[in-house]
């Protein structure tokens, strides 16, 4: 069986949240939910996540899973907020590679990230149920070590492994990122049926264009500006490395990681009751 998918665009971060539904049982999974965050004021609020849950309620869905495709560096996840808001509480899943990312940034921030932040850390090829649908976790590292795609029927949710064909692919210059590894992950996706629906984690349309939530494996193989069916690993690595050298650091990198590596939970409150985010300084004085 194939899932029904409803997608929600978060314009501030260019992110997509997808709700995939088993039409037979009305059980569902939410992929990559976004928590709103204003860095200047420090305000965190769930307006965008509430919009997703309004759809869930109106459609009469039961959410079994919240699924992260990786620990995002450009927005805060609403996973923990959704777990609190949804009854019964859905499980939170991510790729097994999250342990490597947590270990690295534990040293960067000088904090410990709780192993219990996620209910499931999917190994490559692991299967799980969404109602009567069978979901397959496909390890797709390269952008980050924890990248995972979820193949459910004729749909695959690819995170940052692929962008829309006109936008190409994600950067590979984060810790643990690797362009050759990303090329291999993309080739793994390209082995799927050309008609497979590809649901994106991001889209950044030009002014006047609508954001693209969905494409196909066939369209990616034929027209992706960074990696088509016949693009060699050497060609892709050269292109990706050159592009990455000129990219700026994501504006929400430090706040996003400190929340997302905790499964969306905010840092513990200090003695004065206030929660704080850390910013590692580069002292070039």
3-state secondary structure of 137: strand
Residue-wise pLDDT tens digits, 84-121: 999 999 999 999 999 999 999 999 999 999 778 999 99
Helices 253-260 and 98-109: crossing angle in degrees, nearest 10, is 120
What proportion of the chain, given as a percentage, has pLDDT over 70? 100
Give the pLDDT band of residue 260 (cuts 50, 70, 90).
very high
- The predicted model gives 2-19 an average pLDDT of 97
Q: What's the pLDDT at 165?
A: 97
Return d(Cα 255, Cα 277) in angstroms, integer: 6
Q: Answer yes or no: is pLDDT of 285 > 90.
A: no
Return d(Cα 129, Cα 136) in angstroms, integer: 9
Give the pLDDT band of residue 55 (cuts 50, 70, 90).
very high
Return d(Cα 264, Cα 261) in angstroms, integer: 7
Give Cα separations from 111 to 95, 209, 259, 261, 280 (angstroms): 21, 42, 12, 11, 12
* 37: nearest Cα among 73, 12, 66, 14: 12
What proportion of the chain, given as a percentage, has pLDDT over 90? 95
3-state secondary structure of 193: coil
Give Cα separations from 77 to 24, 45, 216, 272, 278 (angstroms): 29, 11, 26, 25, 17
Q: What's the pLDDT at 157?
A: 99
Decide: pTM greater than 0.85: yes
Q: What angle do CA 253, 227, 218 make, to 5 degrees?
A: 110
CATH no. of 4-247:
3.60.15.10
């Amino acid at each position: 069986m194939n899932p029904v998918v409803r997608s929600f665009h978060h314009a501030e971060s260019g992110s997509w949240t997808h709700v995939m539904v088993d039409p037979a049982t009305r059980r569902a999974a939410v992929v990559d939910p976004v928590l709103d965050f204003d860095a200047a004021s420090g305000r965190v609020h769930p307006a965008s996540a509430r919009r997703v849950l309004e759809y869930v309620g109106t459609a009469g869905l039961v959410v079994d899973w919240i699924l992260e495709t990786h620990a995002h560096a450009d927005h805060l996840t609403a996973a923990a907020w959704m777990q609190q808001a949804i009854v019964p509480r859905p499980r939170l899943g991510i790729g097994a590679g999250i342990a490597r990312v947590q270990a690295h940034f534990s040293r960067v921030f000088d904090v410990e990230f709780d192993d219990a932040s996620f209910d499931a850390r999917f190994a490559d090829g692991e299967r799980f149920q969404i109602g009567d649908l069978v979901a397959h976790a496909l390890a797709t590292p390269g952008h980050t070590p924890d990248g995972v795609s979820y193949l459910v029927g004729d749909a695959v949710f690819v995170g940052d492994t692929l962008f829309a064909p006109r936008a190409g692919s994600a950067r590979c210059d984060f810790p643990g990122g690797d362009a050759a590894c990303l090329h291999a992950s993309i080739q793994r996706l390209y082995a799927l049926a050309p008609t497979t629906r590809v649901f994106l984690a991001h889209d950044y349309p030009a002014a006047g264009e609508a954001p693209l939530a969905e494409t196909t494996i066939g369209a990616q193989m034929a027209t992706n500006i960074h990696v088509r069916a016949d693009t060699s690993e050497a060609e892709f690595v050269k292109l990706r490395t050159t592009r990455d050298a000129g990219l700026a650091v994501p504006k929400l990198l430090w706040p996003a990681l400190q929340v997302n590596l905790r499964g969306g939970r905010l840092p513990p409150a200090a003695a004065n009751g206030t929660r704080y985010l850390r910013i590692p300084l580069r002292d070039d004085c």
